[in-house]
Every structure is written in structure tokens, then in C-alpha cells.
Amino acid sequence: MPDLSVQLLPGLTLKNPVIAASGTAGYGDEPNRLYHIADLGAFVCKGTTLKPRVGNPQPRIMETENGLLNAIGLQNPGVDYVIEHYSPLWSKWQTPVLVNIAGESVADYAEIAKRFDQVSGVAALEVNISCPNVAAGCLEFGATPEGAAAVTRKVKLATSLPVIVKLTPNTSDIVALAEAVENAGADAVSLINTLRGMAIDIKKRKPVLGNITGGLSGPAIKPVALAMVWRVAGAVKIPVIGGGGISNADDAIEFLLAGASGVEVGTAALVNPSVPDDIVKGIEKYMLQWKMTEMAQLIGAARR
């Protein structure tokens, strides 16, 4: 059988490259009943902030042509609750947990990172500087190389955990962002977060979402995400985690061929919770078919 393991981060090897994307599987207590987190390479929890957040006014989610618009607004119970209630659960898992963190200020990010340091069951941090649905913070830093680098530097100083920085597609130059966070010490980058979008109800003549705009995810964004992953993987030396619209094994294989060392799956698992499992099996089948024995033969193969 082919070996699907990938060394994603310093000291962190995943048994396969398939990762549950932040915000689409909560903290792992609910989807565990529906799909098998144990079979995934890693799990990213919902974006966690310093204080609890109630999120944006309803409606916060709507289906679009081949996609999903969401404006949850980082609803979460806050860092202390997450440490107390979910870390004991994560400590029992074999699947590494990457904690997605978000702040309203650079100091917030550093404080959250500090609190998660040394917490059992936490394998790494994914720093979300790319949420398009909150009024303060996040994209405020993530849209410019200077802002993205400043957050990365502070988080790196505050933790001994490996740090992944999650980049936004809502920028004119995602490669510049990736290079800036690499230079600031990021151990890996993940991309893409959602693309800002909106919908208007023509009968009510009002925006559909309570927040007016939201973030677009799902199959509609896949070609955009893939092109960004391709460009970033060609520019940085640190590992790239790719995602955006991955719905089946073929999609995931495209991202791996483009140079991603891991793939995040979000919206597709909301539609069918067995998709991540099916993707793991599909990658294995593809490798067998093409007589590949290890992931290095697959990752970046379209660039060679």
C-alpha cells in the first residue's frame, strides 16, 4: 500500500494529507458522530478568540450556485472555555488538532497563542488573519504583507507550537502575503479562506445576509484557490496547505499536484460528511494506479 504520510510541520507528521477545515466541523465533538475524525490527517477547530463571541445577526448562511455564502462572524465560546472543555477530548485523539485562532488586535493573537501553548491535545496553531466577516481585526492585518508579518512575528514569540498562517484571497497579491509571513517565521501557510461575496433578495430588495456581505466557499472557488496555491507553492519554501472548494479526491489531487503538502476540506463535508474519508481512499487509489509509493512523488508533481 502507498504511504500517505506527510511531514507537515516541525515535529508533526500526518498519517495522510486530508485536514478538516476550520469552522466546518466545530470543535470535533459533533461531527465525530457523523464522520470519522480518526481517519483524517488532522483536524482544525472553529476560529477561537480571546473572549466568547455571539457572531453576526441572522441570516448567516445561504447556498449559492455551486457554493455557500457564510457570515458567521466567528461565533465561539472563547479561549478559556475551549481549553477547559475540548482539550481533554483532543488529548484522547490520535488525530492532531490544529487550533484556529483569531484576534481583534495583534496583542490578542499573542495572548491567545500564549494560552494555548503547552495545552495538551493541541498540535499547532492556525492563525486566521483572513476572516472576511468580522468588523475588527483579522483581515485588517491579513490583507497587507506588513500586517500579516506583524501578527506572525508576535504569535511566534508567544508560543512554542508550530504556526500555520491562513491567508486571504481578498487581496491583490497573495504571494506577497505568503512571503511576508514566511520571512516573519511562519512554519507553514494555509490558503485560501473564503472570498468576499453577497446576495440580494430581489423581492425584499435587501441583502440576504444579516452582515450584508459574507465569504464564498465550495466548488465555485476551486479554480481560484488552486491558482493561488500554485503561485504560493512556487514562491515559498515552507509547506503549503491548500484548500477551497475541494469536494472529491480528484480535486484534492489537483491541489497536491500543484504543490500543497496538505489539503483542507470544508464545505463539501457539510453536504456529505463522508467526503473527507472518501478523499483519503481516493488519493490512495490514485497512487496505487500510478505506482506511487510515497507522497513526495505526488506533491508538486505538476510543477516538475
Ligand X SMILES: Cc1cc2nc3c(=O)[nH]c(=O)nc-3n(C[C@H](O)[C@H](O)[C@H](O)COP(=O)(O)O)c2cc1C
Q: Which is nearer to ligand X, 149 or 225 (CB)?
A: 225
> Which residue of 25, 40, 72, 155 would you call a contact of ligand X, by CB under 6 A?
72
Q: Is 103 in the site for ligand X (CB under 6 A)?
A: no
Helix (H, G, I), strand (E, B) or coil at 191: strand
| Whether 131 is catalytic | yes
Separation between Cα atoms, residue 264 and residue 230, nearest integer Å: 15
Q: Does 47 bind ligand X (CB under 6 A)?
A: yes
**Whose CA is closest to 82, among 60, 104, 61, 97?**
97
Classify 164 as helix, strand or coil.
Answer: strand
Residue nearest to ligand X (CB): 23
C-alpha cell at position 10? 516541525
Site residues for ligand X, 111-170, by CB under 6 A, read 128, 131, 166
Q: What's the count of helices (H) and strands (E) in the chain, helices before strands?
A: 9, 16
Residue 74 sits in the site that holds ligand X (CB under 6 A):
yes
Q: Which is nearer to ligand X, 89 or 224 (CB)?
A: 224
- Which amino acid type is present at position 238? I
Please count the residues of this chain forming the interface with ligand X, following the rule CB under 6 A: 27
Options 15-23, 117-125, 153-161, 286-294: segment touching ligand X (CB under 6 A)? 15-23
User: Do residues 209 and 198 make contact, with C-beta atoms less than 8 angstroms apart?
Assistant: yes
Minimum distance from residue 76 beta carbon to ligand X (Å): 7
**Residue 285, number of CB atoms within 10 A of its CB:** 12
Q: Which of 68, 97, 131, 188 is catalytic?
A: 131
- Shortest distance, position 140 Cβ to ligand X, whole Å: 15
- 211 assigned ligand-binding residue: no
Rounded CA-CA distance 103/108 in Å is 5
Query: Closest distance between ligand X and the C-beta of residue 31, in Å?
Result: 13
Among 6, 9, 25, 68, contact with ligand X (rule: CB under 6 A): 68
CA distance 200 to 187: 40
CA neighbor of 192 nearest in space, from 154, 144, 237, 142: 142
Distance CA 13, CA 179 (A): 24
Q: Which residues pair with 42 in a beta bridge?
A: 19
Of residues 181-210, which lie at the interface with ligand X (CB under 6 A)? 193-194
> Of residues 220-239, which lie at the interface with ligand X (CB under 6 A)?
221
Q: Does 244 bind ligand X (CB under 6 A)?
A: yes
β pairing state of 67-70 and 213-217: antiparallel
- Residue 184 beta carbon to ligand X: minimum distance, rounded to whole angstroms: 18
Q: Does residue number 56 form part of the binding site for ligand X (CB under 6 A)?
A: no
8, 21, 177, 241: residue in contact with ligand X (rule CB under 6 A): 21
| CA neighbor of 66 nearest in space, from 301, 273, 268 | 268
Instruction: List, by residue number, the catalytic residues.
Output: 131
* Site of interaction with ligand X (CB under 6 A): 21-24, 46-47, 68, 70, 72, 74, 100, 128, 131, 166, 193-194, 217-218, 221, 243-246, 265-268
